[in-house]
Structure 1
Amino acid sequence: MVRDFPTGNYRFIPAVFQYSSGAAADSGFEVERVRFDKLLPLAEGFAQAAKYIQAAGRPLTSFCACELRSPAAFTEDGFRIFNQHYVKTLAEWKIFDGTVNPVARSNVCPEIDPPSEPSFYAFSFTRPGAGAIPSFVIAGGAELRGGSGTYPERIVRYNDLSPDAMKEKVRFTVGSMEERLGEFGLGWKDTTAVQAYTVHDFHPVIVDELVRRGAMRSGLTWHFARPPVVDLEFEMDCRRVARETAI
């Protein structure tokens, strides 16, 4: 169920403590995405994001999404420890209340020339604006089923990289994106950008699992990167933003 985050002028899909499943601007507001020309270490990225948001006359609570890059995939415990560190800044910004986190996020691991420490690639925030279709960011999602259990227990076709397994992993992930879009009453037709993250060749399934389903209406950006947890193999995110800037 979608919840409101009024101090940020956006709505979000609750998920886990480290991120939400997506954020969408309220009526009268729009999402702006800002990409850094080069990766910035986490603390520096937060500082530059704060500077940019405040220069735009917006409160820090308008920070609604971020895209991170990490040196390598985490173990399940390592990912938990990283997230506990990551949310400290969001708590200082009065966004994370200790339990609920409205900020959408992607955090992936470049296979070639990775950063030496967790770093910022991009962030998004809300600002006044009016569009006929809400602007939004859907958080990164991989082939991981919900519910309880360890990652190996919930990963679709765990440790299987056969063509049939990759098709099932991609299909599951695309379906997860559709479910999240649906929470906002939206679909692929409303997106302006879709990103995929994997180091595996998924071209054999692109036509049936992405093109025919409408996911590539604006093309597809493929990042040669792994999802953030060991043994996940395919991740996606998507968005509709009114303005994109590189700094």
Structure 2
Amino acid sequence: MLLANRRGGYHFLMGIDPYSCGVVADPGYEVVHATMRAPLPWREGFEKIDSHLREIGRPRHALCGVELRSPTPYSMEGFIEFNVGYCDLVQSWDLYVGDLNPVARTNVAPADSPPAAPVLHGFSYTAPEMQDAPMTFVVAGAAELREAALDEDDIIRRGESGPDALREKAGHVIGIMESRLHGLGASWELVTAIDVYTVFLLEGLLEDSVLPKIGVAGRHGLCWSRARPPVRGLDFEMDMRGVRSEVKL
């Protein structure tokens, strides 16, 4: 169910404490996606977000998506511990809607040239736009967990990385992406960027498990990052967005 974040100019799909499952701009607003030219330690990154939003005359509440990069996948306990500090910062910005965190998030661990500590890779925010502008949105990152919860027992084919297991994992993840996309009221025709995060890019994996689902969105291609999901034991993650404006900071 879509929930309103009127202070931010967007609606969001309820997720779990650290993040929502996705966001969609309200009429009169668009989602703008920003990528850092040089990643910053994530807390410094939030200072950069704050500075950028002030420069363009937008409130902190406009922040609707965060992309983090970690040195290595966490244990489940370590990831939960990191999320406590992350949620504390988001709450200190007064971004919660009631008891819910509306900000979408992706957090992955690069396999090559990883950062020394968690960093901000990019973020999304809302900005004023024409009333009749196309829908813009962000679908939060998801890996092969059966439920929207942080429980190792819910990992699909845990400990397996053979072709059949990876196809099942990828198929599950693309199913989550499609469910969230439709939950936002969007469609594949509106997707402008699809990110895939895995170190196991086997021949035929995307052709069998991802491309048949995305249909016309495939005209934009897929962006593959050789990276791991944020928790040990997970092997395949995706996120998506449909935006008109991309900036580098």
Q: Same fold (TM over 0.5)?
A: yes
Q: Greater CA deviation, 225-234 or 209-218?
A: 209-218
Q: Which amino acid aligns with 1:143?
A: E
Could you tell me which runs of 5 or more consecutive residues in structure 2 were left unpaired when the two chains were aligned: none
Q: Summarize the Cα distance change of 1:186–1:97 in structure 2 as closer, same or farther, 3 Å threshold.
A: closer
Q: Greater CA deviation, 227-236 or 98-107?
A: 98-107
Residue 68 (structure 1) shift:
0.4
Structure 1: distance between partners of 2:218 and 2:235: 20
Between the two proteins, the alignment pairs up a number of residues equal to 246
Q: Summarize the Cα distance change of 1:148–1:174 in structure 2 as closer, same or farther, 3 Å threshold.
A: closer
Structure 2: distance between partners of 1:23 and 1:90: 16
Query: In 1, are the aligned partners of 2:15 and 2:148 still within 8 Å (CA)?
Result: no
Structure 1: distance between partners of 2:155 and 2:10: 31
Query: Which whole-Å deviations, capped at 9, do the CAs of 1:26-75 have from their partners, x for residues lacking one?
Result: 01100111111111001110000110011110000000001100011011
Q: Greater CA deviation, 153-162 or 18-27?
A: 153-162
Query: Which whole-Å deviations, capped at 9, do the CAs of 1:102-161 have from their partners, x for residues lacking one?
Result: 00000000111111111000001000013543101100001101167831x111111111
Structure 2: distance between partners of 1:140 and 1:47: 23
- Secondary structure at the aligned position of 2:164 is classed as helix
Q: Which amino acid aligns with 1:230?
A: R
Q: Detail structure 1 runs of 4+ shifted over 6 Å in the superposition.
A: none
Residue 207 (structure 1) shift:
1.8
Could you tell me which runs of 5 or more consecutive residues in structure 1 were left unpaired when the two chains were aligned: none
Asked if 1:223 corresponds to 2:235, the answer is no
Partner of 1:205: 205
TM-score, normalisation: structure 1: 0.96
Q: Which amino acid aligns with 1:6?
A: R
Query: In 2, are the aligned partners of 1:9 and 1:62 still within 8 Å (CA)?
Result: yes
Q: Which amino acid aligns with 1:223?
A: S
Q: Greater CA deviation, 210-219 or 156-165?
A: 210-219
Structure 1: distance between partners of 2:234 and 2:72: 12
Indicate the percent of aligned positions where both proteins have the same amino acid.
Answer: 39
Query: In 1, are the aligned partners of 2:16 and 2:149 still within 8 Å (CA)?
Result: no
Q: Aligned-residue CA RMSD in angstroms? A: 1.5
